[in-house]
Chains A and B, each alone.
Chain A
Amino acid sequence: MSTQLALAGVTKNFGGVAALSDVSFDVQAGEILGLIGPNGAGKTTLLNCISGVYRLDAGTITLADQELQGRPAFQIARLGIGRTFQVVKPFPSMTVRQNAAMGAMFGREGKRTPPKQAMEEADAVLADIGLGKRADVLVTSLTIPERKRLEVARALAMRPIVLLLDEVMAGLTPNEVDEALEVIREVNGRGVTIVLIEHVMRVVVGVCQRAVVLHQGRVLVQGATAEVLEDDRVIEAYLGERYAKAHRRG
């Protein structure tokens, strides 16, 4: 396997508070990598750094052989990074189809997809992701799980090389989680590398080959998912020291 996305020494401060310090890890081409860690660990900040919403204070982010740091968000998107937002950000006055088509219209390098063609491609993506029947409704009449799917559809329409998913499973029922897992596996099966932030451990265990644990803005542990989740330091970071000791004894 080859490295698809490489982070080296990524550092981000907010007014003197270090949100990310010296974060380094590689994402292999074609894998699904889980990005986990307790609330406030810096997971979403890291996604914002990769997608260019924030500027790095130090470090490099490399996609294949292109350096991403310092580029504006729209260029990074066109180079092949698609993402979703934890709090979904649809375009509310547009229909579901138009929302998805936006990704196809703008998110590709060098090619200007005209609206009509983008709408057709959007229909295909929506059918794949199970929103085909809702293509003509306004996005405001979608349920929350549907909006999360639409968020994924819009990113997929960009034909990304790497897809960054920020808690797309949060708030879903177990059945909906299973469906979403199916979608993720399918997308990955088509060769899209995926980095996902997730709190639902069933999801991480279910689809991620590897996992990176962030804690207080640093990489705590990385490696194969099962090993990482058994690591004492990870349990401590999530549940506190006392619980971790009990866990070790038990």
Chain B
Amino acid sequence: MSERAGLIRRVLLGVAAAILTVVMVMPLTSTETAQSWGLPLMTDKLWFRVATTVAMFVVLSSAWNIIGGMTGYAAFGNVAFFGVGAYSTAFLVANLHVPFAIALLAAPGVAALFAIAIGLPLLRLRGHYFAIATLGVSVAVAEVVNNVEPLGGSNGIFLPIVRSDLLFFYLMAATAILAVAVSWLVLRTRFGYGLLAIRENEEAAAVIGINTTFYKVSAFALAAALTGLAGGVFAQWNVFINAENVFPVDYNVQMILMAVLGGSGTALGPVIGAVTLEALIQAFASGGEFAVWSQVGLGILLATTVIFVPRGILDFFGGQSRLTVQYLRNSLRRTGV
């Protein structure tokens, strides 16, 4: 990276950290302080809802990025880990009366074990087959959960209500920071280099001494643990879970789109993508015909991102590429016929 690009990156990181600090501290300020700053939204329930949701998607897309962006395995069923984590925590809290703090720790564990169990056979598949098989697993798990009576069947599970917007915001934000920190760390270690090598050329990775099976399954389990943790937080936050709200097929695509939009394979890309896209989605989220149009808009955004900025928004921040007509034209030429 050139010196200028390094500087830009540092400045951006500084700005991002400053914004993050303000966002994190603001909910702590009393209503009067917030209003005296001219920020009446800060104590609004809606604000917490949006901010917590954004943090949740930062976790989901960062976690997907570990298996999809870094390892190059296009997992299309990560929502299964979200649901498994949510159900683990909910089952322990609601049925076995385990304290939430302990039950939450079970979520990443169970999700990771589940990822290892399905990863061992599925990670031998490549390309489309892996993508479809993971999608299939997520749909199938949702259906099984919907039919298993101890898990509430189609009635779902109700958890005891914990009324604290602040707590769940901080829990989800902490999970998001954990996910980003893990991604950042992975990219700087031997483990991360191993994953990138598998993405770039799995055969070459094996003959230079990388235990590809172990690395792939570990990456999958790590992604699952983080996703499961977010699911566990979601279960208690939302109080009610069922197969529909913790296994939404849409999330599979949303988390991938966020990572790709921001820049997949990098630590910051998924964050940028998740914040941008979720903010857009929330801004347009309203009922009726408008919601349908916003879905049309989302589809068009997906298509144009993939066609014109395949390397993500982050590509323009490093100082190496600029958003010019030439860039767009090259994007077209690189992948078209």
Residues of A near any B CB (own CB < 8 A): 51-53, 72-74, 76-78, 82-83, 85, 89-94, 98, 101-103, 105-108, 112-115, 154-155, 158
Contact = CB atoms under 8 A, between A and B. Distances in A.
Closest 3 CB pairs of A and B: A107-B209, A77-B209, A91-B200
Contacts of B213: 72
Given A53-B207, A85-B204, A74 B193 contact: no
Nearest to B265: A93
Contacts of B232: none
Interface in B61-87: none
A89 B206 contact: no
B288 to A, nearest CB: 45
Given A74-B211, A105-B194, 20 more contacts: A52-B207, A53-B203, A53-B206, A74-B210, A77-B207, A77-B208, A91-B197, A91-B205, A93-B200, A93-B265, A101-B193, A102-B205, A102-B208, A105-B193, A106-B194, A106-B197, A112-B190, A115-B188, A115-B193, A158-B209
Nearest to A101: B193
Nearest to B202: A89
A113 B207 CA distance: 17
A73 B190 CA distance: 19
A99 to B, nearest CB: 9
A94 B189 contact: no
Contact of B196 (A74, A76, A93, A113): A93
A77 B212 CA distance: 12
B203 A77 contact: no
B210 A91 contact: no
Contacts of B204: 85, 89-91
B203 A107 contact: no
Contacts of B265: 93
A77 B193 CA distance: 17
B21 interface: no
Contacts of A74: 206-207, 209-212
A102 B209 CA distance: 9
B326 interface: no
Contacts of A107: 208-209
Given A74-B211, A106-B190, A115-B189, A52 B206 contact: yes
B190 A114 contact: yes
B201 A90 contact: yes
Interface in B205-224: 205-213
Contacts of B190: 105-106, 112-115
A44 to B, nearest CB: 13
B45 to A, nearest CB: 44
8 contacts: A52-B206, A53-B203, A74-B206, A74-B207, A90-B200, A91-B204, A106-B194, A114-B189
A69 B38 CA distance: 72
B100 to A, nearest CB: 38
A103 B205 CA distance: 9
A154 B208 contact: yes
A154 B208 CA distance: 8
A106 B200 contact: no
B208 A72 contact: no
Contacts of B206: 52-53, 72-74, 77
A85 B203 CA distance: 10
Interface string B158-199: 000000000000000000000000000000111001101100
A103 B208 contact: yes
B207 A106 contact: no
Contact of A94 (B188, B200, B207): B200
Contacts of B196: 91, 93-94
Contact of A72 (B188, B194, B211): B211
A46 B307 CA distance: 42
Given A92-B200, A93-B200, A115-B188, A102 B193 contact: yes
Contacts of B211: 72, 74
A112 B208 CA distance: 13
B207 A98 contact: no
Nearest to A78: B209
Contacts of B197: 91, 102, 106
A89 B197 CA distance: 11
A103 B204 CA distance: 10
B49 to A, nearest CB: 38
